[in-house]
Amino acid sequence: MSPDILLRIGGATVDTIYMVAVAGLIGSLIGLPIGIFLATSGKGELFPAPTLNRIVGLIVNATRSTPFIILVVAIIPFTRLLTGTSIGTKAAIVPLTIATIPFVARLVEAAIREIDKGLIEAARAMGATPMQIVFKVLLAEARPALTLALTMTAVSLIGYSAMVGAVGGGGLGDLGIRYGYQRFMPDVMLVVVIVLIVLVQLVQSAGDGLARRFDKKNRKT
């Protein structure tokens, strides 16, 4: 393999990490409150707003069921509005973020719904406000599950980021298709796949480790 190709693989790795990190961060920051809202706004819950809950749930489902590659193309005008361009790594971050938000929201909702209702009742009996219950009880108790949810998000994002090559997004997936497949360079393809596996593995191990550290429930004594 020529040094030029190795350099390209290095650059593509950086691009992938960059896209995943930025889309993951922004998507999680927006998805987290939406997930909290979904988990707490049902009838008789902390912030009862059943109608809005259903509407948000519907939008989330619609976004999640749109195939990612269609989402990428469909929101090109929006992407251009935000970044001034529809191609390149920066532009690819927009559809990645949009796809991340509902993904995170549903995972966060599930993580919070797992929490024993008795804890909410106990906090109410202590005179906690709904906001105090969210921050001191729900988020604190769901921390291990939330960590795993964000890990899963990052792993999925690495997969999605391979698809934004279709709009010139760059990154490892793009490189694999253009060099490995279209220019018949199976060795490039192999390296790309291995780098992706290593990335996923690293993210997963880090997430698992962190979740274990946060989990005081299933501790071995």
Contact window for another protein (CB under 8 A) among 5-13, 26-34, 118-126, 155-163: 118-126
Residue pair 127/139 in contact (Cβ under 8 Å)? The answer is: no
Closest CB 43 distance from another protein, rounded Å: 9
61: nearest Cα among 102, 98, 23: 102
Tell whether residue 119 is a contact of another protein (CB under 8 A): yes
Q: Which H/E stretch holds residue 88?
A: none
CB atoms near residue 51 (< 10 Å): 8
Tell whether residue 54 is a contact of another protein (CB under 8 A): no
Closest CB 144 distance from another protein, rounded Å: 8
- Binding residue for another protein (CB under 8 A) from 126, 197, 198, 202? 126
Of residues 78 and 135, the one with the C-beta less far from another protein: 135
Contact window for another protein (CB under 8 A) among 9-17, 69-77, 78-86, 121-129: 121-129
Tell whether residue 124 is a contact of another protein (CB under 8 A): yes
Tell whether residue 87 is a contact of another protein (CB under 8 A): no
User: Within the chain, how many helices (H) and strands (E) appear?
Assistant: 11, 0
Contact window for another protein (CB under 8 A) among 71-79, 80-88, 125-133, 178-186: 125-133
Tell whether residue 202 is a contact of another protein (CB under 8 A): no
Of residues 80 and 136, the one with the C-beta less far from another protein: 136
- Binding residue for another protein (CB under 8 A) from 140, 197, 198, 206? 140
Rg (CA), the chain: 20
**Per rule CB under 8 A, count of chain residues that contact another protein:** 24
If DSSP codes are grouped into helix, strand and coil, which group holds residue 30? helix
The 3-class SS string of 132-158 reads HHHHHHHHHHCHHHHHHHHHHHHHHHH
Residue pair 98/160 in contact (Cβ under 8 Å)? The answer is: no
Tell whether residue 116 is a contact of another protein (CB under 8 A): yes
Tell whether residue 137 is a contact of another protein (CB under 8 A): yes
Of residues 86 and 147, the one with the C-beta less far from another protein: 147
Helix axes 143-161, 186-214, angle to 10 degrees: 170
Whole-number Å distance between alpha carbons of 25 and 27: 6
Residue pair 138/123 in contact (Cβ under 8 Å)? The answer is: no
Question: What is the contact surface with another protein in residues (CB under 8 A)?
Answer: 116, 118-119, 121-129, 132, 136-137, 140-141, 143, 214, 216-219, 221
